[in-house]
Structure 1
């Protein structure tokens, strides 16, 4: 029995990583032209069976898969970080309006300023994500009880719908912005090349380092502000570091793949269940990296299913992630424990 328990933490690492590697192979192999797994592996190691396979793998499928890995990890990490910072199980870059703020910033960049480059729109996405985070927190903390989980969720939903309305008002008066926005807004990994992936990697890397560095402080914050302060944690600095990390991770991801809602909400809860099963408990030094592995698993699964269920066309990955995450969110809200918060 003791030996089994000692193996659980190892399995917590090995199984998700193995699943992610298998999904990467499937993501590279499945599409309009299916490529068997053995040919995928041969092409990745420089021995493709044909020039067509080599071109499909390295020009189309690998950039798409790497984008799913990086953007999915960023959104999962930011979701887990937001839930820890706010001590709110409903926190999510989509639910709390951060994705909507980044989307609104991008639409402003395209429609009002004529900015079409990725680097140009990323800065507007960052500004929108940060502004929305501050606004939701200020709205959620009004009243005697302060920033409760339900109030923050309601404030985030209200701000999301407001920004959604403003975004629609802008794109409906600008045909060029509408053409670019309507496909991007569904959340998709398609039609991106390696240059786009490389352009967001510095932002995601800095955001990931900042997020992971907050893990020990997040364990202290889970005990309450007073306890965390007595342990020597500088609460303002920790929260600032977390907000900057969420802004970088969410802003860069949304700027490229669009607003994928519910990814950051679902994955941290799954990570907690797995960590509890492994006997680790709510240790954010495990939860944050595990969320960063599980989130791309979900995003790549949605992307793969989107290519298969509607051939020869595709269903955007963001649509399928929302299809999975919507019922999960409803079940989470209906939990008696959460309803009493």
Structure 2
């Protein structure tokens, strides 16, 4: 044991040198990204079936007039929609960043590893058997479904000879997602809730309401704060479990806390927007490329960039073919699928 500790101690300086971070770049992303996000939110509120000028948006937010039709459109439809998109983007992106750091799997994402499908299946059961269920309970069932989906994927992946590998996890997640999606569609047909499920499965924030945001904000806000608290520990885990233990980390406790945070983020996002994939795959890789591998910077920057991606995707969804809308899940997939194939090919070369 002493020999192992001594060898690990000699190895730590060499490994920690690989923790290249770019604090200046991260600070610029946080400040500049937040500014662009605010501008994108303003533009998203302006454009739609009825175009609204920016001064009217400012007036509606700070001097609301319930008698003005445009003010009603902004407050009841567009503002909750765009704020919901920002929360969802941050949730998916941070969940993906934590999963990739914790598992050291570059292709980890809540959509690819069965969490989204599990949450979706739980919601389909709620639509069928508990119609009119309060949104708080929908979120709780989403947490449970996401946890079961992740558990099944990891369990199936572990049964294969050679144990868990990124490719096996993705295959198991894809198989489970297909199965749960088929079961959800069967439930929709049998219980005549196809319209509700079809709208949700397409992926979009058009139906987001204030009561959903009020329920979602405490969960997502707490999970995001928890992820920042855990960011240093996630950085250590990304170096390897032995290295993390050598640096004094209680890896079991850190993994448990990180898993709970991921389930809360993924479950909350899916309950609002549906099973939108690839946000948690693309954004963490882009963030690591820009700011380095220190999760103290990756997690907050991922939250900002993830919010920006979903808000811009929602804006594009309304502008491509007005007055109709394209599902934002489909737009993000246009970027996500080629990126996933690139990662899969790169991972295969490294095996």
Partner SS, residue 185 of structure 1: helix
RMSD: 1.9
Provide the C-alpha distance between the structure 2 equivalents of 1:13 and 1:253, rounded to a whole number of angstroms. 22
Aligned to 2:246: 230
CA shift, 1:117, in A, is 2.4
2:268 to 243, 252, 265: 252
2:115 matches 1:98: yes
Provide the C-alpha distance between the structure 1 equivalents of 2:23 and 2:200, rounded to a whole number of angstroms. 45
Moved more, 141-150 or 326-335: 141-150
Over residues 90-111 of structure 1, what are the superposed CA-to-partner deviations in whole Å (9 max), with x where a residue is unaligned?
A: 1000000100000000111221
2:96 matches 1:86: no
For the 8 Å contact 2:26–2:301, the answer to whether it is kept is no
Aligned to 1:278: none
Provide the C-alpha distance between the structure 2 equivalents of 1:125 and 1:245, rounded to a whole number of angstroms. 13
2:301 matches 1:290: yes
Higher relative contact order (CA 8 A, sep 6+): 2
1:268 to 272, 284, 293: 284
Moved more, 191-200 or 284-293: 191-200
CA shift, 1:9, in A, is 4.1
2:63 matches 1:53: no
Structure 2: unaligned runs, 5 residues or longer = 1-21
For the 8 Å contact 2:26–2:290, the answer to whether it is kept is no
Aligned to 1:317: 328
2:327 matches 1:304: no
1:204 to 191, 215, 220: 220
2:349 matches 1:339: yes
2:147 matches 1:136: no
How many residues align? The count is 330
For the 8 Å contact 2:103–2:238, the answer to whether it is kept is no
CA shift, 1:61, in A, is 1.1
TM-score, normalised relative to structure 2: 0.89
Partner SS, residue 94 of structure 1: coil
1:76 to 89, 93, 111: 93
CA shift, 1:334, in A, is 2.0
Structure 1: unaligned runs, 5 residues or longer = 276-280
Aligned to 1:164: 181
Provide the C-alpha distance between the structure 2 equivalents of 1:258 and 1:143, rounded to a whole number of angstroms. 30
